[in-house]
Amino acid sequence: MKTYIVTGGAGFIGGNFVHYMLKTHPNDKVVVLDSLTYAGNMETLASVADNPNFLFVKGDITDRDSVNALFQREKPDVVVNFAAESHVDRSIDNPGVFLHTNIIGTGVLMDACRKYGIERFHQVGTDEVYGDLPLDRPDLLFTEETPLHTSSPYSASKASADLLVLAYYRTYKLPVTISRCSNNYGPYHFPEKLIPLMIANALNDKPLPVYGKGENVRDWLYVLDHCKAIDKILQGGRVGEVYNIGGHNEMRNIDIVKLILKELNKPETLITYVTDRAGHDLRYAIDPTKIGDELGWQPETKFADGIKLTIDWYLNNREWWENIISGEYQSYYEKMYGGR
């Protein structure tokens, strides 16, 4: 039996990972450490709250004393760090908290790993650390050797964290791995991000704000496939290595928005083109050859199926997202989109 500390487990991908791990590793213990920022939601974990192998601890990854106390108490074998400020637009508005959580928090966790000893520290990274690719060169993909070249305070903070993780490997021999994944979608996705925002607005017959001309391209991966890839890396990945994870599923934003409207039987007149994001990355596309060859991971969920599953989830779990958009989210929305 192993003990996993999963930071950020009340967020989108961390929450899906907790459900996945408790189901596929029923003898292991999953301890979530999450400070419950605006993006953390206990409702996401409600269905596992009574599982004897699950423990939730409210705490901040930048708080050294409480992180150390948790490690001393739980003696984790593995730490998977999902905890982060994750939204690019918020990082443009207010970078400071991104540097604090994403960089300092990662350092605090790794110091605790060194102090108490662990089998593996896994850093959940992003393809945004590679910057962007041109729209007219479909032959170009991000590999693990692509130089880091960041655009936003968010991606710069995630790249800094990755460098720190690799430094702890080289200097202290901390057994680390890093994954860099493309855009995820699926259940429990906070409705500030493209896909859940468009689903929620369409269901409420509100305008769908598309940045610029909607021609930016992202490589979308169903969240469960990401969870499976991280599990593969934890079980068989080589320490000190970076693994890219991606869906081979590049799509333009505008095509995703139109698809969502079609699935929901809503008119395209809801689409509203708004001022572009500052420094907006044009295109992301991952080459996942390494994780495929070394660990046998492949994306399993086709986008056509994954988007239907996702829309169905939002239709069947209205309370989850309606609770979010009825609160503090209103002032966020007004600030971000009011004068756009």
Binding region for ligand DAU (CB under 6 A): 86-88, 126-128, 182-183, 193-194, 197, 209-211, 216, 218, 253, 277, 284
Cα–Cα distance between 31 and 23 in angstroms, integer?
Answer: 14
| CA distances (Å), origin 267, targets 18, 64, 90, 283, 312 | 37, 51, 29, 27, 19
Specify the residue, 51 or 66, whose C-beta has the smaller distance to ligand NAD. Answer: 66
Specify the residue, 3 or 7, whose C-beta has the smaller distance to ligand DAU. Answer: 7
Residue closest to ligand DAU when measured from CB atoms: 126
* Shortest Å, Cβ 94 to ligand DAU: 15
* 12 interface partner picked from ligand NAD, ligand DAU, none, CB below 5 to 8 A per type: ligand NAD
148-153: Cβ within 8 A, 24+ apart:
151/279, 151/280, 151/281, 152/88, 152/91, 152/92, 152/128, 152/279, 152/281, 153/91, 153/92, 153/95, 153/98, 153/99
* 177 interface partner picked from ligand DAU, ligand NAD, none, CB below 5 to 8 A per type: none
* Shortest Å, Cβ 183 to ligand DAU: 4
Please compute, for residue 58, the number of CA atoms within 13 A of its CA located in the half-sphere on the CB side: 5
Residue whose entry in the numeric block shows the structure tokens 């450490």: 33
| Catalytic residue check, 268 | no
Specify the residue, 84 or 199, whose C-beta has the smaller distance to ligand NAD. Answer: 84
* 106 interface partner picked from ligand DAU, ligand NAD, none, CB below 5 to 8 A per type: none
Q: Where are the alpha helices (DSSP H) in 25-119?
A: 64-74, 88-93, 96-99, 105-116
* 64 interface partner picked from ligand NAD, ligand DAU, none, CB below 5 to 8 A per type: none
* 209 interface partner picked from ligand NAD, ligand DAU, none, CB below 5 to 8 A per type: ligand DAU
Query: Annotated catalytic residue: which of 34, 85, 128, 132?
Result: 128
Helix (H) or strand (E) holding 184: strand 184-185
- Nearest C-alpha neighbor of 83 from the set 120, 118, 110: 110
Q: How many C-beta neighbours within 10 Å does residue 204 have?
A: 10
Cα–Cα distance between 234 and 122 in angstroms, integer?
Answer: 7
- Nearest C-alpha neighbor of 320 from the set 219, 167, 196: 196
* Shortest Å, Cβ 161 to ligand NAD: 8
Query: Annotated catalytic residue: which of 20, 154, 168, 169?
Result: 154
Q: 3-class SS at 125?
A: strand
| Catalytic residue check, 314 | no
| Catalytic residue check, 136 | no
Query: Annotated catalytic residue: which of 60, 127, 162, 225?
Result: 127
| Interface ranges with ligand NAD (CB under 6 A) | 7-8, 10-14, 34-37, 39-40, 60-62, 82-86, 101, 105, 124, 126, 158, 181, 183-184, 190
The answer for residues whose C-beta is within 8 angstroms of residue 78's C-beta and 6 or more apart is: 2, 3, 4, 5, 118, 119, 120, 121, 122, 234
The type of residue at 254 is I
* Shortest Å, Cβ 158 to ligand DAU: 7
Specify the residue, 39 or 176, whose C-beta has the smaller distance to ligand NAD. Answer: 39
* Shortest Å, Cβ 82 to ligand NAD: 4
Specify the residue, 60 or 225, whose C-beta has the smaller distance to ligand NAD. Answer: 60
Specify the residue, 85 or 175, whose C-beta has the smaller distance to ligand NAD. Answer: 85
Active site residues: 127-128, 154
